[in-house]
Amino acid sequence: MLIPELPDYLTSLGGEDYKGLIISLFTLTAGLSRPFSGRLTDRIGRVPVMAFGSLVCFVCGFFYPIVTTVYPFLFLRLVHGFSTGFKPTGTAAYIADIVPINRRGEAMGMHGLLGGLGMAFGPALGSWIADTFSINVLFYVSSMFALISIAILYNIKETLPKTHQEKFTINSLKIKREDMFDPMVLPAAIVIFLTSFSFGSIVTLTPDLSKSIGLKNKGFYFLVYTLASLFIRVVAGKFSDKNGRISVLRWGCMTLLVAMTLTTFASNIYIFVAAAIFFGLGMGVVSPITQAWTVDLCEEENRGRALATMYISLEAGIGLGALFSAWIYQNDASRFPIAFASMGSLTILALIYLYSPKIRRMKAND
């Protein structure tokens, strides 16, 4: 809900040159908190980790109207990142616990479908609320949705076996080297890292691109691409359960390349919409299949750590993509093409990696 309106809001505070940090700071904290969320997910439980993520989101919505200068705003974005650092890690581990292995891709696709509905209507709804009421009302409504999430989690049964559960103490937050990274899921981490640069550029620059082609609702691109991703998520997940993750990921990367090429040349509404559709199809494949692949590659007792590793890579790619694309853009509409093309080119590396000898051998043994 907040993403499309934050660039203009930051500009109104005098921080026009810091737009890239809106996403980068958020993903920085999310990435740094992943080892903690992964460790706690495997030791304390899935539900408490999910609840903490939602709680942070709830609280931060009330602080946005209070901060009226650039640096407190950026610090709040840093804090807000804890919500994404915790909630998805616990959620993905919970889903992996409750579904059979032969339907894991389908389940991750369904997870993405429901999350996609929020990503589809949230940005458009957020822009409408800000335009109709005010930006502060938008912040409060975002908190309300987070509160509903907390209420739902209150009645969810914990899936981490009691024999694995520990009581939370300060020692629970002590991170060891092995908690930082799961080498078994490196292939999935590499693919999601390289493809996430595109996403970072999209969430940072498309609000300004929307304005440049005459669209008032800065969440329109997000609405179109997410709606396009909804159906493909479940279909791709089921297909990967039968035919393997790697083949499906290759097609996802190819589609993402088409999307970034179209976005690079999006000078009117028609190319803009086509780009959003292809982006939705590409990310609708890459995101859930990478999650399922991560769970496939890891050991069952380390699901939290493995998913945290994957999400660290995801957020590193998004954060760097946001930072570099904003640096290339420099609030100059003529620089949109080079910004999108540069970030999209990293997907080519992901595709090359998916055809590398190492991955070919993995596919042969799949």
For the chain, domain boundaries: 6-364
The residues, ordered by sequence, that sit 6+ positions from 357 with a Cβ below 8 Å of its Cβ are none
pLDDT at residue 366, rounded to an integer: 59
Residues of the chain under the 50 pLDDT cut: none
Instruction: Answer for the pair 253, 196: CB distance below 8 angstroms, yes or no.
Output: no
Cα-to-chain-centroid distance, residue 177: 25
pLDDT at residue 162, rounded to an integer: 86
* CATH class, range 6-364: mainly alpha
CA dist., res. 10 & res. 69, Å (int): 9
CA distances (Å), 241 to each of 97, 233, 290, 294, in order?
17, 12, 12, 13
pLDDT at residue 144, rounded to an integer: 95
CA dist., res. 84 & res. 89, Å (int): 8
CA dist., res. 118 & res. 56, Å (int): 18
State the DSSP string of 130-143: HHHT-HHHHHHHHH
CA dist., res. 278 & res. 321, Å (int): 19
pLDDT at residue 121, rounded to an integer: 80
pLDDT at residue 179, rounded to an integer: 72
How many C-beta atoms surround the C-beta of residue 172 within 10 A?
14
- Return the structure tokens found at 220: 């329109």
Classify each residue of 119-139 as buried b or exposed e, where b means 16 or more C-beta atoms within 10 Å of its C-beta: bbbbbbbbbebbeeeebeebb
